Amino acid sequence: MSDLKKKIKRVVVKSRILSPLYNVYLKYVLWKRCTITIKNYGQNNITDIPIIYSNNFIVTFRGDNNFVKIGKGCNFKNTNSIYVQGDDNVVVIGDNVTFDSNVLIVVGEGTKVNIGSDCIFADRVHIRTTDQHTIYDENRKRINPAKDVYIGNRVWLGKDAIIMKGVKVGDGAIIGMDSMVTKNVPERCIAAGKPAKVIRTNIYWNE
């Protein structure tokens, strides 16, 4: 047998041995990187979460009939949380979304948070649909009802940005660092400040 044939045979034999071992190793690495905690203090709560890269990702349910769905290819880097209070709430996150650290999503009173694909959330981004406490006027009419939040595709939220209830952020938008968004933000623009205002339009951004 020629030297070339011997080398080919060794490579084939080696690959047959190592391929299964590599598959086991890959599953182990993904399992170690996929630290997800579900705290369920209710009934009929459903999560649809694939294997994602995460380090201490926490979903807390304090109510019934809630639903949380995470898309494929997401990267939740360190201690990120979804807190669901009350019944019939929904959180849907698209594909290839990145959370840095200490991102918090709070939903309540039967509302929904919908986040598109290819978004980046920097440290301590905070999204909420509810104030968690009711406020009334002198006629006992409530003045702070909960409202849905919609984040488009390819949205970049800067460090310490806050997205308040009832807000829609358009595709391709950027929210500046330490901004509080209380009104809708159009697509492909930069909004910044407290409260956030549009400061540039017709922009594009790259990772």
pLDDT in 10s for each residue of the chain, 207 residues: 556 555 545 545 455 555 665 555 445 444 455 688 999 999 999 999 987 788 899 999 999 999 999 999 999 998 999 999 999 999 999 999 999 999 999 999 999 999 999 999 999 999 999 998 889 999 999 889 999 999 999 999 999 999 999 999 999 999 999 999 999 999 999 999 999 999 999 999 987
d(CA 67, CA 44): 9
**What is the pTM (predicted TM-score) of this model?**
0.83
